[in-house]
Chain A
Amino acid sequence: MIEWLHTAAGTAMTAAFLLGISGGLTGVFVVSRRMALTGDMLSHAVLPGVVGGILWGPGRHPLVVLGCAVVAGLVAAGLLMALMRSTRLKSDAALGIVLSVFFALGLAMISKWKPGGVQAYLFGQAAAISSGDLILLACSSGVVVLGVIFGFRVLLVSSFDPQHARLLGIPVGWVDRCFFIALSVSVVVAMQAVGVVLVSALLVTPAIAAARMSRRLVSQAWWACGFGVAGALVGVWLSLLRPGLPTGPLMALSLAVLFVAAALFGPRDGLLQRGLGRMRQRRRIDTENLLKSAWVLMEERACSELAIDILAERVGVSRKGIRRCVASLVRECDAELVESGFSLTPSGRRRASEIVRRHRLWELYLMRRADYAADHVHDDAERAEHWISGEMEQGLAKMLNHPDVDPHGSIIPRGVEREEGR
């Protein structure tokens, strides 16, 4: 185990694991505080600190670099606050200014003194992570995890409702400051592995993917950790497949793939689920419309069997389409095939009469209570009949004194089932 840790692959994998956890956990709060772009700003703004820390001593001591970087991040945050308070610049413009100025300062320092080892921070090299870096990374991840576990309530309340938190006696200002410092630390340690630009991916993407999985912040935090670790590990594994492949972009891309999967299949408003629901609803409406047309036709002709051709002519759909719909009705035991065409079973008749009843009740309601003209009510009722619930139907009937005839002179069918049940 220990030997494996000292191999390049072992170090990179361990680093990825730790980064995934701390990035995911911090990211959940970054996203819920709407600080995604502040995180991006921070990753650029710490550069002068990083360069300064590298220049400071002879060796690149991780702790010195980290300290200087956090100081630079805090100065940047101060400048951002000052810009936003004293001018009418919008937050995005202020962020853009602070980001570019600090980054430019860092680049100027690099071009002036040409320190070694900055490359890792700019582009990210998981392979270049030393054992000292790894220890630092483990410590900072540990602090983040402990902080989130013990301060979860406090963080939660002050992230979502600072006013309420203040009423509870939580020092919101200090919570924010601590969070910012923790964020700076996470950003600096993550920069080594993924580079300046892609730190955002490590923070934002797992958290957003987690938000598709659950509504509750606790389980979002778990999911974000899982996504972060999975994405980071897959990224490192891919980059180890061939020499020369960059770690950071591969991590960002595997995280993006995870996000796409979560957006498609996630239980919370997933695209697939949404599409399926829409399809199911369209099928229900089609079936209901067909049942209704069949029922009305049978009513007009006073017969109980109907030829497919006649129904197709009335609805304006091809015979093939009608046949398919009828087949599905037969499967649901709402219709049965007879020699001349098909007939409705008792359950089919009940379903159809319910829809016709709702349609005609709604027409009557619009005329009597909403002053609609008689020739304007049909289209509205065509839509309303599909979403009027049983309870609403009863209310309508009661309000209209249990009418028998609709505005066009057709009989409103009785609600069979409920009459019997009463």
Chain B
Amino acid sequence: MALAGDAITHSVLPGIVAGFLLGGSLDSPWLLLGAALAGLACVLLIEFLHHTLALREDAATGIAFTTFFAVGVLGLRLFASKIDLDPDCVIFGSLETVVHGARLSFRSMQVPAAFVSGAGAVVVGVLAVMVFGRRWTIGAFDPLHARCLGFEDGRARAVLLGWTAMMVTSAFQSVGAILAVALLVQPGACGLLVARRVPGVLIVAGLHSVLSALCGFYLAWFAAINAASAMVLAGFAWLCIAWGYSLLRGGRGA
């Protein structure tokens, strides 16, 4: 599903623009709702193209997310006067501003909005993994078995997709649309390389994202570069270590 994640990160843009027009500010709930709906619509479009028109999955993904992204960028430009959402933000993200705000408000114990949505996404994510973890695990590795056990594939899948869209929206402000996919894929890949069992994978993935975030901030401060990209680069460094470990242990990391 790594590329469904990529597709969603691009396709939430029109939803965010529409949410912005409705809500009027960056931290209105409309933004989250719009993004989730747009992400869901994109996934449905991919499924439709794949099943009804018998397009291959990669082609269907390519066509769907570019269309959504195009609508989003067009909306950004058309309503540029009403939205102070910077197009640069779409690509670069603006983690610095978030961090800056956080430091200022930390002393007065006020937490900025971006932190709230981020923390909310984390809490919901952990809860969802606890509730649905087993279903997702089985569903991801063996959909047929999941259906035999009587799990409704659709509902767990919808929650997973909805959560992904939510996470992407909260990540959007900080790291931008394109690098959000790194935050989705890298920890998971790292976990898969190091651990063999699903709980282990989840723990390693969590550890990886925290470590890469910390190292990324340090790197950004040290080299004076964009924090989001530094975070991704640091994450890749950790991933390389995991890669080396899996190679040393022998086999194809299996």
List the interface of chain A (C-beta within 8 A of B): 31, 34-37, 39-40, 44, 83, 86-90, 92-97, 99-101, 103-112, 122-123, 195-198, 200-201, 203-205, 207-208, 244-246, 248-250, 252-253, 256, 259, 263, 269, 271
Contacts and interface: CB of A to CB of B under 8 A. Distances in A.
Interface string B63-94: 10111011101100110100000010001100
A96 B253 contact: no
Interface string B27-39: 0000000000000
The 9 closest A-B pairs by CB, nearest first: A100-B182, A111-B226, A104-B232, A201-B66, A249-B70, A252-B70, A104-B229, A96-B185, A107-B229
Given A93-B189, A253-B67, A253-B74, A36 B62 contact: yes
Nearest to B53: A263
B53 A31 contact: no
B185 A37 contact: no
Interface string B167-178: 000000000001
Contacts of A259: 63
B186 A97 contact: yes
Interface residues of B, number: 59
Interface string B217-249: 000000111101111110010010001001100
Given A34-B56, A93-B188, A197 B61 contact: no
Given A105-B233, A269-B54, A204 B70 contact: no
A111 B2 CA distance: 27
Nearest to A39: B62
A271 to B, nearest CB: 8
Nearest to B237: A101
B107 interface: no
A173 to B, nearest CB: 22
B81 to A, nearest CB: 10
B55 interface: yes
A184 to B, nearest CB: 17
A75 B253 CA distance: 23
Nearest to B91: A122
Given A87-B193, A93-B2, A101 B233 contact: yes
B10 A197 contact: yes
Nearest to B178: A103
B46 interface: no
Contact of A200 (B62, B87, B182, B224): B62
B53 A37 contact: no
B113 interface: no
A95 B3 contact: yes
Contact of A97 (B178, B189, B228): B189
Contacts of B229: 103-108, 111
A190 to B, nearest CB: 12
B63 A205 contact: yes
B192 A88 contact: yes
A246 B225 contact: no
Contacts of B182: 96-97, 100-101, 104
Contact of A123 (B55, B87, B231, B247): B87
